[in-house]
Each structure stands twice: as C-alpha cells, then as structure tokens.
C-alpha cells in the first residue's frame, strides 16, 4: 500500500542537510563527522507501509519491480520501504519472521529493483511501534519481555490504528526491547539501502513495571517505581499523581531514548547511511524543551482541577511536549501530529508551521469559515 508521496522541497529548506553536521551546538550531541548526501534535501519520497496487501496477510503477490514501477509513475525518486510490520519480511534474528518468507529477503528484492531504476531507498522502523499482535506472544513467548506491564506485572493496554490489528503496548524502556532494537538496526544496515527512518522514538506508551524498568529507574532516580502505580496513561494523569516521580520518570525515559538514538546513529553512520527521525522530542535534550522543572510541574498540576482525562489530562502533558504547535496538545495529546525533523537537527529555516503568528492566522481562517 502506498501511504503517501512527498513533495520536492523548495529553496527555503536548503539548509536542512547542511545543518545536519552542526549537531553538537544546541543539541548537546557529539559530532561524528558524518555528512548526509546532498540529494537528501530534495527527495520526492513515496511511502510504502507493511501492514496491508500486498505484504500482509500474504506476500506471495508482492513484486518488488511493480512497487518500483509505481514509485516511478508517481514521480518519486526515493522509496521508503517498511521491512517489519506484524512480522519481519527479511531474515531477522531480532523479530519473528513472516511464515511465508522462506528464502526471500524483501529488502534485498526491493533494493535490487531500486538500484536498477536509479531510486534511493531507506527503511522505515517504528520505534516502539513494532506490532506485537495478540497472537504473537502465544506463538513466541520469548518476546513477552517486550510487553508493557502494570504494577502487578500483568500486560496492560492494547492499541491499534487504521488497518492495523490490535497490539500489546511495547515497553520501550526495558532492557530486552532496547537490545533487540540495536540488533534490528544492525540487520537493516547490512542491506544495500541509503538510510534508516525511526518513527516516534519518544512517544511513550505508558509506565512499565517490568523487572528491568523497576531496577533501572531506581538506580537513576533513587525512587521506587511503585510511586507511579496509579499512572496507566502518561497522557491522561490521575488527580493524585506523584509529580516528583513523574518528572523523574520522563527524564529517565528521555535519557534512555537519547542513548538509544546515539547508538543507532553510530551504527547507521558507521555503515555510511543517513538516519531520519519523526514524531519525537528527545533530541531537544528532554521533551520539556528548554523549560525548567518547576514549569513542568506547574503545567502538569493544571490537571488537578479536572478528572485526569480529556482536555485536563492533555493539558498536563504540554510541559513534556513544549515543541508542539501552541495549543496543539489540548484535547488530542495522543493523536496530534508532531513536527518531523532530521535526527541531525532541522534548521530554523522552514519552521513557519510553528510560528505563533502563522498559527494565529490559521485559527482566524478556521473561525471565519465557521
């Protein structure tokens, strides 16, 4: 399924890639000497998702050449291919392989056709969004350590999207999943592609009370994770939430995600490929941006006048998502679109979508239309 096609970026975005080499200045990230290819700033990508036909529920009708032909017909010069959906479509040691795969490796098949046609290719992976459908744990109990656990150690929470089966929520702060992601990144980099794309690296699914999360949070903060035992949804807080523990948890989770992304960057850049991220704020140092801890607490305390759901619960997360459009968090904290940017840091150019005057103008336009 072709999920969408990108547009050629205008001259206003010409500093995007050149800014990528200036990572250390305002991100507190060590520069590694990698420079993305110049063509990356002008790509016309076509997105291909891995949750529907012709990849799922059967790959027998998938033909890489047809996908590449369609990409060319749409005017694309770059293909974003998703090699892991409900199962891996390549021989993976980190994730269950699709039963019909046999000796096939769909990344290699797509790569060969892309190279013949002169297309660029990068692989999509959902950080924390790998689908753990309800049958997978029964078939592969070794992956049970990836599942989000409540204070009693039981799995809690399922999620879905359009066209996607119900899935357990993932514990992205646990040791097992973090190690598996490193293996996955290495596997992707072993293929002939140009880059790797991560979706939602800090879109946390909830507080996990598995053994490794309890131990590591205690080591980081000196607090017992049980203090957050009543927090089942970090985007809809209870009235009596322990704010000190919650702030510590977000800072701990952001620290882990930043460590992960730096490790991924080392692997990916070491293989001569670029790394992209979208939907996340960890690269701002912490998802609270430049706000002080007391501002986070004040923002979160707003929910005390509400029941912890709806606008009140969403309001409470604004301190942790300070990079959103003004007012964007209210009411739709779990659904709104975040600003996408290169992991290497997007330049100030092209950020007019976050400019308060632009937002105000758009709001007035909506009000005038009724």
User: What percent of the chain clears pLDDT 70, i.e. is strictly above it?
Assistant: 66
Average pLDDT rounded to a whole number, residues 157-183 = 85
Under a CB-based contact definition with an 8 Å cutoff, are residues 192 and 108 in contact? yes
Measured CA to CA, the distance from residue 276 to residue 194 in angstroms comes to 11
Sheet holding 274-278, edge to edge: 2-5, 45-48, 78-81, 120-126, 195-199, 274-278, 341-342
Give the model confidence (pLDDT) of 272-317 as tens digits: 999 998 776 554 433 333 344 444 344 344 333 333 333 322 222 2
Q: Which of 9-13, 141-145, 189-193, 333-337 has the highest mean pLDDT?
A: 189-193
Instruction: Concatenate the DSSP letters of all residues of 156-207 into one string.
Output: --EE--TT---EEPB-TTSHHHHHHHHHHHHHHHTSS-SEEEEE-TT-----
CATH code for position 252: 3.20.20
Measured CA to CA, the distance from residue 95 to residue 311 in angstroms comes to 37
| Residue 306 belongs to a domain | no
**Residue bearing the bigger pLDDT, 209 or 31:** 209
Measured CA to CA, the distance from residue 123 to residue 41 in angstroms comes to 17
Q: Residue 17: CB partners within 8 Å, gap ≥ 6? A: 36, 37, 38, 40, 41, 342, 344
Give the model confidence (pLDDT) of 47-59 as tens digits: 998 888 899 889 9
pLDDT at 22 over 90: no
Phi, psi of 18 (to 5 degrees): -65, -30
| Residue 216 belongs to a domain | yes
| Residue 310 belongs to a domain | no
| Residue 326 belongs to a domain | no
Phi, psi of 273 (to 5 degrees): -115, 160
Give the model confidence (pLDDT) of 80-134 as tens digits: 999 988 889 999 999 889 999 999 999 999 999 999 999 999 999 877 656 777 7
How many domains, the chain? 1
Expressed as residue numbers, the domain containing 35 is 2-222+246-286+342-359
The pLDDT value given to residue 274: 96
Give the model confidence (pLDDT) of 204-251 as tens digits: 888 999 999 999 999 999 999 999 999 988 888 999 999 999 999 999
In the DSSP assignment, the letter for residue 78 is E
Measured CA to CA, the distance from residue 340 to residue 327 in angstroms comes to 18
| Residue 11 belongs to a domain | yes
| Residue 352 belongs to a domain | yes
| Residue 300 belongs to a domain | no
Reading the block at residue 167, the tokens are 């899935």
| Residue 213 belongs to a domain | yes
Under a CB-based contact definition with an 8 Å cutoff, are residues 311 and 330 in contact? yes
Under a CB-based contact definition with an 8 Å cutoff, are residues 154 and 107 in contact? no
């Amino acid at each position: 399924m072709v999920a969408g096609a990108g547009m050629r970026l205008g001259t206003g975005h010409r500093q995007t890639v050149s800014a990528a080499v200036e990572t250390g200045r305002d991100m507190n990230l060590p520069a590694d000497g990698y420079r993305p290819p110049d063509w990356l700033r002008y790509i016309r990508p076509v997105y291909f998702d891995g949750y529907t036909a012709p990849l799922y529920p059967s790959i027998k009708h998938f033909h890489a050449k047809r996908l590449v032909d369609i990409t060319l017909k749409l005017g694309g010069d770059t293909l974003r291919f998703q090699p892991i959906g409900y199962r891996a479509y390549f021989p993976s040691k980190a994730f269950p392989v699709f039963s019909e795969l046999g000796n096939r490796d769909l990344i290699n098949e797509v790569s060969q056709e892309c190279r013949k046609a002169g297309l660029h290719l990068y692989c999509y992976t959902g950080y924390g969004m790998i689908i753990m459908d309800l049958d997978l744990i029964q078939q592969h109990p070794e992956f049970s350590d990836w599942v989000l656990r409540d204070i009693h150690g039981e799995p809690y929470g399922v999620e879905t999207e359009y066209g996607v089966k119900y899935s357990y929520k993932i514990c992205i702060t646990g040791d097992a999943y973090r190690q598996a992601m490193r293996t996955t990144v290495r596997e992707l980099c072993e293929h002939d592609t140009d880059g790797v794309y991560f979706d939602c690296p800090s879109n946390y699914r909830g507080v996990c009370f598995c053994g490794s999360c309890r131990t590591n949070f205690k080591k980081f903060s000196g607090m017992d994770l049980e203090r957050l035992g009543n927090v089942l949804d970090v985007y809809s807080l209870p009235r009596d939430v322990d704010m000190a523990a919650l702030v510590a948890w977000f800072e701990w989770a952001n620290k882990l995600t930043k460590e992960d992304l730096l490790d991924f960057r080392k692997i990916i850049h070491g293989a001569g490929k670029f790394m992209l991220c979208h939907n996340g704020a960890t690269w701002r140092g912490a998802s609270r941006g430049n706000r002080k801890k007391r501002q986070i607490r004040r923002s979160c305390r707003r929910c005390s006048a509400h029941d912890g759901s709806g606008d009140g619960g969403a309001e409470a997360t604004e301190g942790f998502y300070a990079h959103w459009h003004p007012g964007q968090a209210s009411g739709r904290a779990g659904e709104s679109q975040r600003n996408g940017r290169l992991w290497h840091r997007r330049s100030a150019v092209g950020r007019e979508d976050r400019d308060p005057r632009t937002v105000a103008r758009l709001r007035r336009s909506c009000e005038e239309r009724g």
